[in-house]
Amino acid sequence: MKRLLALLATGASVVGLTALAGPPAQAAAGCSVEYTVTSQWSGGFQAGVKVTNLGDPVSGWTLGFTMPDAGQKVVQGWNATWSQSGSAVTADGVDWNRTLSTGASADLGFVGSFTGSNPAPASFALNGVTCTGSVTDPPTDPPTDPPATGTPVAVNGQLHVCGVHLCNQYDRPVQLRGMSTHGIQWFGQCYGDEALDALADDWKSDLLRIAMYVQEDGYETDPAGFTGRVNALVDEAEARGMYAVIDFHTLTPGDPNYNLDRAKTFFASVAARNADKNNVIYEIANEPNGVSWAAVKNYAEQVIPVIRAADPDAVVIVGTRGWSSLGVSDGSNESEVVDNPVNATNIMYAFHFYAASHKDAYRSTVSRAAAKLPLFVSEFGTVSATGGGAVDRASSTAWLDLLDQLKIGYANWTYSDADEGSAAFRPGTCNGTDYSGSGVLTESGALLKSRISTPDNFPTS
């Protein structure tokens, strides 16, 4: 796997995200910038920068500004190539946001340090032109619809795929944000009433992904029992107005065809039982690995008709090659799916990432693929691909910002108290009743809760 993360050292030194060389920057006729310090601690802070092009379209851009205090340094940035010399800071667009049409915005940010005070920069320049406009100026277009009220399912109803987007009952694109269970054979105690109430009411999650392992003491050991557990969690999600992603969690062996007969039996049962519900999404193969895309496609084209026979309207998510990386982790890319898509309608393709392991090359793939394929990030972690290690806050934020920009839904791994960095809760939390207090959250859990609990914007007209 090639990594495009690079250390850039210019003057004071800074960590940046490198990009492929693009066309030379063009002059910008006008721009506006929103600079927000999203969090601050002793000697450090995190800032978000939203730049909006108010002039002619540009196919390459550099944003420049000056740090007001000599002690302020950019340490690590995302969604741009960041550099700093003395107090002068520059951020160059990367491949997925290099082109800015008139009115288009790029969301970037950085983690910084400071030794004295931490004032905001006084001015910004886009391609050498000072940004004097304001995104708070009165819009020339009619305002968008106010956010709808009600639970995610009550507002959006039965979902379907339209173009490359997941759309609601009003045929408008929506982004679902939520959490995945860990294996329900191991962490069933994490999915009682208190935990699910907190997920829906306090975390304000749109969905619960129900990870039912097939092997590893899972479905194959007790098909009827695991089918019943999945159906019960679908009901619990429905009662709280959340969507339920039924995940047939194949991992080892990596060829989903190994479990083809089990998949047909399982999905025939759950589809027939849940066909009248409008909160169910079917994920038919978690992370195919060590297998060709042709083999995955063959599996999908045999399982999807089984679901359609009972539940013709529900969205189906198809796993992709290389642990659902669209083939990137196997040295391929999205073209194999674009050129040879699954022969079915109302489907999406899974993309999984772990932020500390999967960075620019993977983000570039998603950015390109999202223009051609309906994507759903049905699993991701803030840590390494092992599920452990430290949270990579910068890469996680870059990923979440990109998914928000592209309106791609996601489920974070995991809503559990597993003793690993990816878990949302500290070990032992699921033996109690508190799933909301800051004391029970891990660093990953706190980050995800802060992102998921922000208001949804579900359009209704």
- Model confidence pLDDT, tens digit, residues 102-151: 888 888 888 888 998 899 998 899 998 888 754 333 333 433 455 567 99
CB environment 71-91: b (16+ within 10 A), e (fewer): ebbbbbbbbbbbbbeebebbb
* Closest listed residue to residue 214, CA positions, set 289, 266, 179: 266
CA of residue 70 relative to chain centroid, distance: 36
Structural tokens at position 242? 């959340």
pLDDT greater than 70 at residue 29: no
Tell me how crowded residue 23 is: count the other CB atoms within 10 A of its CB: 10
Handedness of CA 225, 203, 201, 164 (dihedral sign): negative
- Residue 201 is predicted with a pLDDT of 97
Handedness of CA 461, 150, 413, 18 (dihedral sign): positive
Bridge partners of 49? 35, 108
Structural tokens at position 126? 């886009």
Is the N-terminal amide bond of 414 cis, ω within 30° of 0? yes
Tell me how crowded residue 39 is: count the other CB atoms within 10 A of its CB: 12
Tell me the domains of the chain and their CATH numbers. 5-130 (2.60.40.290), 152-452 (3.20.20.80)
- Residue 133 is predicted with a pLDDT of 56
Bridge partners of 110? 47, 77
| CA–CA distance, 237 with 245 (Å, rounded to integer) | 10
Q: What is the mean pLDDT of residues 296-316?
A: 98
CA of residue 384 relative to chain centroid, distance: 15
Rounded to a whole number of angstroms, the distance between the first and last alpha carbons of the chain is: 44
Structural tokens at position 429? 């939390």
- Residue 10 is predicted with a pLDDT of 32
Sheet holding 88-92, edge to edge: 81-85, 88-92, 62-66, 124-126, 129-130
CA 262 to each of CA 119, 215, 246: distance values in angstroms, whole numbers, following the listed order: 60, 11, 15
Q: Which residue has the tokens 């002039």?
A: 55
Within 8 A by CB and 6+ apart from 221, the residues are none
| CA–CA distance, 70 with 257 (Å, rounded to integer) | 60
| CA–CA distance, 78 with 91 (Å, rounded to integer) | 9
| CA–CA distance, 336 with 297 (Å, rounded to integer) | 11
Q: Which residue has the tokens 């990030």?
A: 377
Contact (Cβ atoms closer than 8 angstroms) between residue 393 and residue 424: no
Contact (Cβ atoms closer than 8 angstroms) between residue 424 and residue 184: no
Structural tokens at position 426? 């500290």
Residue 378 pLDDT level (bands cut at 50, 70, 90): very high
Q: 0.85 exceeded by the pTM?
A: no
Strands (E), 267-374: 280-283, 316-318, 347-354
H/E stretch holding 234 reads: helix 223-239
- Residue 147 is predicted with a pLDDT of 53
Lowest mean pLDDT among 13-22, 223-232, 353-362: 13-22
Radius of gyration of the chain (CA): 22
Question: Is residue 6 classed as helix, strand or coil in its secondary structure?
Answer: strand
* Closest listed residue to residue 320, CA positions, set 346, 345, 357, 347: 347
Question: pLDDT: is 16 or 311 the higher one?
Answer: 311
Structural tokens at position 197? 């109430």
Counting residues of the chain whose pLDDT is more than 90, the rounded percentage is 72
CA 332 to each of CA 4, 73, 110, 182, 365: distance values in angstroms, whole numbers, following the listed order: 16, 38, 30, 28, 10
- Residue 148 is predicted with a pLDDT of 63
Residues belonging to the active site: 287, 379
Mean pLDDT of all residues in the chain? Answer: 88
User: pLDDT for 172-181, tens place per residue?
Assistant: 999 999 999 9
